[in-house]
Structure 1
Amino acid sequence: MSKKIMLSLVGCIALSSFTSLGAISLEDAIKNVNFTGNLRYRYNTGIWDTWDGVDKGAQSSIQGQNARQTHRFRVQLATKADIGDGFKVFGQVQYNQDANGGHGVGNTTATDRTFYLRQAYLQYDLADYGTSFIWGKQELGTIWTTDMVGMAAKALYTGIDGLTLAAFAVDSFERDGDRAFMDLDNYKDTITNGTITISAAQNTAKSLGDFLFRQNLYGVAAIGSYDLGGSNLDTQLWLGYLNKRAFFYALDVVYGLDIDQDLNYTLQLSYLGNSVDSALKDRMVAQKMTSAPANLPTGGNADETLIANGNLINLMGTLKGYGFDGSLGGVLYGKKGKFTINRLDDSFLAGGREIFYVKGSNIMNSFGQNTFGYVKAGYTLPSDLRLGVQFVYGSTQAGDRNIGNAEYYGGGGKMEAVAEVSYNYTKNLDFLLWYSYLDVKAKAEAGNPGNYDSKINTVRFQAFYKF
């Protein structure tokens, strides 16, 4: 046997010896590790019946996706390990394939995209002081972002009974197709043969989305939950500053009253406001929006900013009991003739399924003053099968200035009716099916060539499994 081979064998033996000194059993290795995950399948389809006799009967999918039908698969797998001395590590990978299926080009599901790292952070808990610190890529979980992911640092204090204090700093944001901020510079999406196309500039450094999210976000929050004896009060107060973009503030108050053992009433008031920084106002001056449609709503002043401070007010009352649930509420946001930023992602628990995604009334950035009332009702059978309906009615008032084609900016009266069925098969597996009918009407105004009537019919089926 050669000397080289002998040395290799000695090295392998030495390496295995050192490895065995620190080895632990698999049972011990996973003792303090939690595994969680979820699998979601969505099928979306729809028919967009546009105005002025154009593209009647053309098909498109919901929320501006470039497909007549879409099959969407998402898998999230996560693990959290307690590594001792108060330290924990968390990692989550995600597979989110949005390949279009159904009719036309691209009707197969791609399989060449692998999982990517969605979250990865380090957590340090000081249990004796009720304090936690979290660093890394994580869901931001603010009142403006919900499940948006970013590189962030958080500090949480829970040492006061019923109260959580938080401070956070976000260095960067990760946005995907579900939460892509609409491009205000190219606000008119084009509709050709029933396919909705959003300008490619939306994904470049010229877009408002990139301009907005390239800055850091800093904030604090106070979240309280109080038992009042037969009733309860939950409060949230948030303050945030998106550097050189806007100052955000929000208040959410929920009062719950137990009428009897099986009947409960809650009243929720939410207010989200912001003050826009001069840098963002300058970015939205009419004469600088060179890529916007020619009939930009300048109002006779080319140097006028087209963005205003945002204010969103939502009031909702909900009654639940004996299998029945019903909600009645109203929401007000936006300003006539101006764009406003209302949220930083699209999560919004009001009424309807589509109305807060379309132009003008888009919940993230709207054009015009939006006023809507909504009602939701449902009944859950003993088999955990729920039948429900939703109805939203209101309008987007773009303003009475020379705004050109009103459909460019989503103005007009709007109505949405939804029928839905959900079924909790087990505590881990549930199904959802809904149908939405959305109707948008606008009357002729100065500069507007005529009335228009746009109808959208959409259907979604979803299966969701978690463990």
Structure 2
Amino acid sequence: MKLVKLSLATIIAAGALANLASAASLEEAIKNVEVTGYARYRFDSQNAKLASFEDTDNEHRFTSDIDFKAALDDRFFGVIGFRYDSVDSSGENVNSKTMVGVDDRGEDSFGQTFNIRQFYLGYTAGNTTLMAGRQVLGTFFTDDMIGTGIKVLNSDIGGLTLVGMAFDNLQGDNDIGSSAFILGNAKATLDLDGEISGKLEYVTDRNLYGVAAIGSYDPVSFQLWYSALDSVAQLYAADVTLGANIGDVDLSLQAQAAGSSMWANSARAVVYDSTQVPAKYEMAELNLDDATFLAAKLGAKGFGFDGSVGYININTKDNGYSLISFEDQGGFITAGEDLLDYTFIDGDLSAYFVTAGYTFANKVRVGADYVGMRVVYNEIKNIEPSSTVDAYEAVARVDYKYSKKLNFKAWYSYMNGDNETSDNQHLRFEARYNF
């Protein structure tokens, strides 16, 4: 990483890290500070048309993650990371969240709009690195989720990295579908709008443990993962990718097998009971069961063109509710933008996808995705019968790589389902600068 000129904020951050260990002076710490991160702007416009109503939502989002890494001596290093994240409703100032201070709850359960996202101490000895503190989990089952704990990486074996971790204080962000699961038997109060209150326990209140083996031996790379979400579920995944080059064409074949083994037998969740007159929110008990995930993807790239085809299958053991990925899509094979969700499994799913694109002058890529899906949804006892839904999503994309660090993208997604869901549209524009 190239060293950069330091601003006052950088010097302050380095000073905070220098206090973590007396082995390095402030002057020495400043000389070895590395800065990584990004600044991103997004505009999202979503329109959802259901059988009984239509809803349009337009938002601006401003996000920046900036991490400062300082070498404290030959073996110790410290990282402190700052996050600014604001989602503001377009066309009105009632829900503006660009302020920092009173009544500032921020986004994704970080606490407020501007906050300290990461703060941890690292130690390296030979090919082993230990990191302790508040940090990105970095598992196969999560995307950018934060937790407090310990992570150990070892690469003594050439081409192979072994990982072990233990985390608590997990971030409860908006990309966790199972966050609706209420565990235990604590009493809950439900109002007419479906808002729940009481001393409740959710899946993000539990600890997460994990081990992994990640290897690369040309032309094969692989990942083996196991994670335990305390008293909720065991998650496991295997990913194998085979790469080949024929002439000027790069080919790849990726296969994944994963699953969840649920420790908890049941959970509660708030559901909308349309069978009552008038319809209202109810607290329903959901049976939790094991689930399996199988997927394969064949990709090709050459002469400016790129494309892929793939198949995804998810099954629950006994028509119960489950999860495959804990937060967002994790490292799983996926396509489209909004249709597929692996964090809340409420039925048996089969899907196929096709993607294609062309890149002009290594700068502008124009592409499209198509995802077709069939889901047999599980029954919610006494509230909702089982049902079968066929749906699809079509996505058009344009990406512009202005420079190595500055990129622009835009995409439009259209989803349609043959049951209650139809004509769901989502437009996004994004500008991102990487430090």
TM-score range, shorter chain: 0.7 to 0.9
Residue 244 of structure 1: how far off its partner (Å) = 1.5
Q: Report if the CA contact (8 A) 2:260-2:292 is conserved.
A: yes
Q: Could you say what secondary structure the match of 2:203 adopts?
A: helix
* Counterpart for residue 126 of structure 1: 125
Distance 1:381 1:211, change over 3 A: same
Distance 1:411 1:172, change over 3 A: farther
User: C-alpha separation between the residues in 1 aligned to 2:68 and 2:36?
Assistant: 6
Distance 1:159 1:101, change over 3 A: same
* Counterpart for residue 42 of structure 1: 42
* Counterpart for residue 211 of structure 2: 220
Q: Report if the CA contact (8 A) 1:205-1:211 is conserved.
A: no
Residue 102 of structure 1: how far off its partner (Å) = 2.5
Q: Could you say what secondary structure the match of 2:409 adopts?
A: strand
Segments of 5+ residues of structure 2 without an aligned counterpart are: 1-22, 102-112, 183-191, 276-283
Distance 1:410 1:385, change over 3 A: farther
Q: Per residue, is there more strand in 1 or in 2?
A: 2
Q: In terms of mean alpha carbon deviation, does 335-344 or 68-77 score higher?
A: 335-344
Paired residues for 1:20-169 under 5 Å: 28-51=28-51, 54-55=52-53, 58-60=54-56, 68-102=57-91, 106=94, 108-113=96-101, 115-127=114-126, 130-169=127-166
RMSD across aligned C-alpha pairs, in angstroms? 2.9
Which amino acid in structure 1 is aligned with residue 202 of structure 2?
F
Q: 1:194-221 CA distances to partner (integer Å, 9 max, x unpaired)?
A: xxx98433x8653xxx432222222211
Which amino acid in structure 1 is aligned with residue 47 of structure 2?
I
Q: Report if the CA contact (8 A) 2:100-2:114 is conserved.
A: no
Which amino acid in structure 2 is aligned with residue 219 of structure 1?
G
User: C-alpha separation between the residues in 1 aligned to 2:211 and 2:365?
Assistant: 38
Which amino acid in structure 1 is aligned with residue 360 of structure 2?
L
The question of 1:170 aligning with 2:167 is answered yes
Distance 1:154 1:41, change over 3 A: same
Distance 1:71 1:398, change over 3 A: same
Residue 334 of structure 1: how far off its partner (Å) = 3.6
Q: Could you say what secondary structure the match of 1:351 adopts?
A: coil
* Counterpart for residue 108 of structure 2: none
2:412 pairs, out of 435, 439, 451, with 435
1:412 pairs, out of 382, 385, 389, with 389
Residue 111 of structure 1: how far off its partner (Å) = 2.2
Q: Report if the CA contact (8 A) 1:249-1:273 is conserved.
A: yes
* Counterpart for residue 243 of structure 2: 256
Distance 1:401 1:366, change over 3 A: closer
* Counterpart for residue 334 of structure 2: 350
* Counterpart for residue 431 of structure 2: 463
2:369 pairs, out of 390, 414, 435, with 390
Which amino acid in structure 2 is aligned with residue 59 of structure 1?
D
Distance 1:411 1:23, change over 3 A: closer
User: C-alpha separation between the residues in 2 aligned to 1:290 and 1:465?
Assistant: 39
The question of 1:306 aligning with 2:287 is answered yes
- Structure with higher Rg: it is 1
User: C-alpha separation between the residues in 1 aligned to 2:374 and 2:426?
Assistant: 20
Which amino acid in structure 2 is aligned with residue 119 of structure 1?
Q
Q: 1:11-36 CA distances to partner (integer Å, 9 max, x unpaired)?
A: xxxxxxxxxxx99795x552211112
Q: 1:327-383 CA distances to partner (integer Å, 9 max, x unpaired)?
A: 100111143742111111113541111102xxxxx3201211111000111000005
Residue 182 of structure 1: how far off its partner (Å) = 4.3
Residue 101 of structure 1: how far off its partner (Å) = 2.1
User: C-alpha separation between the residues in 1 aligned to 2:73 and 2:116?
Assistant: 24
User: C-alpha separation between the residues in 1 aligned to 2:240 and 2:261?
Assistant: 21
Distance 1:306 1:401, change over 3 A: closer
* Counterpart for residue 242 of structure 1: 229
Distance 1:168 1:399, change over 3 A: closer
Distance 1:380 1:404, change over 3 A: same
Q: Report if the CA contact (8 A) 1:367-1:410 is conserved.
A: no
Paired residues for 1:262-411 under 5 Å: 262-277=248-263, 280-281=264-265, 283-284=266-267, 289=268, 291-294=270-273, 306-335=287-316, 337-348=319-330, 349-356=333-340, 362-399=341-378, 405=384, 411=388
Residue 397 of structure 1: how far off its partner (Å) = 0.6
Q: Report if the CA contact (8 A) 1:334-1:367 is conserved.
A: no
Which amino acid in structure 1 is aligned with residue 256 of structure 2?
S
Which amino acid in structure 2 is aligned with residue 69 of structure 1?
N
Q: Could you say what secondary structure the match of 1:49 adopts?
A: strand
Q: In terms of mean alpha carbon deviation, does 335-344 or 161-170 score higher?
A: 335-344
Q: Report if the CA contact (8 A) 1:337-1:401 is conserved.
A: no
Residue 108 of structure 1: how far off its partner (Å) = 4.0
Q: Report if the CA contact (8 A) 1:123-1:132 is conserved.
A: yes
Aligned pairs, number: 383
> Normalized against structure 2, the TM-score is what?
0.81
Which amino acid in structure 2 is aligned with residue 249 of structure 1?
Y
Segments of 5+ residues of structure 1 without an aligned counterpart are: 1-21, 61-67, 186-196, 297-302, 357-361, 443-451
Residue 412 of structure 1: how far off its partner (Å) = 0.9
